[in-house]
Amino acid sequence: MNRHKSVSSRVVLKRAFTLIELLVVIAIIAILASLLLPALSRAKESGRGAVCIGNLRQFGLAAMTYSMDYNGHLPSFRNWLYVKQGDLTTGTIYPHLKSKDVYLCPSDKIELSSRRKQTVPPAGGFGAVNKKRDFSYPMNCGICHATDMANFIAPTKTMVFMEASLATNDYTGIVGPSVDVRSLATRHGNRGNLVMADNHIEKMTKKTYDEVDKTKRFWFPTDDTSGPNGMNFGSGLR
pLDDT band at 221 (very low <50, low <70, confident <90, very high): very high
Are the C-beta atoms of 158 and 140 separated by less than 8 Å?
yes
How many whole angstroms separate alpha carbon 191 and alpha carbon 178? 23
Tell me the percentage of the chain whose pLDDT exceeds 90. Answer: 50
Please report the pLDDT score of residue 21 as a whole number.
Answer: 73
Q: What angle do CA 104, 110, 115 make, to 5 degrees?
A: 125
Q: Which segment of 20-24, 46-50, 76-80, 176-180 scores lowest on mean pLDDT?
A: 176-180
Contact by Cβ (8 Å): 58, 52? no
Report pLDDT for 235.
75
Average pLDDT (211-215) is: 92
Average pLDDT in the chain: 84
User: For the ranges 28-32, 40-44, 158-162, which has the lowest average pLDDT?
Assistant: 40-44
- Which strand ranges, in their side-by-side order, compose the sheet holding 201-204? 174-175, 139-140, 159-162, 192-196, 201-204
Highest mean pLDDT among 59-73, 176-190, 219-233: 59-73
Give the span between the Cα atoms of 9 and 12, in whole angstroms. Answer: 8
Picking from 103, 235, 89, 96, the residue whose alpha carbon sits closest to that of residue 176 is 235
Separation of alpha carbons 33 and 30, rounded Å: 5
Query: Is the pLDDT assigned to residue 195 strictly greater than 60?
Result: yes
Average pLDDT over residues 163-167: 91
Q: What is the pLDDT of residue 17?
A: 64
Query: Quick one: DSSP state of residue 26?
Result: H
Question: 57 or 125, which is more confident?
Answer: 57
pLDDT in tens, 84-120: 988 999 999 999 999 999 999 999 999 888 866 566 6
Residue 178 is given by DSSP the state S
* Whether residue 232 has pLDDT greater than 50: yes
Position 132 scores a pLDDT of 84
- pLDDT value at 7 more than 50: no
> What secondary structure letter does DSSP report for 27?
H
pLDDT tens digits, 51-84: 999 999 999 999 999 999 999 999 998 899 999 9
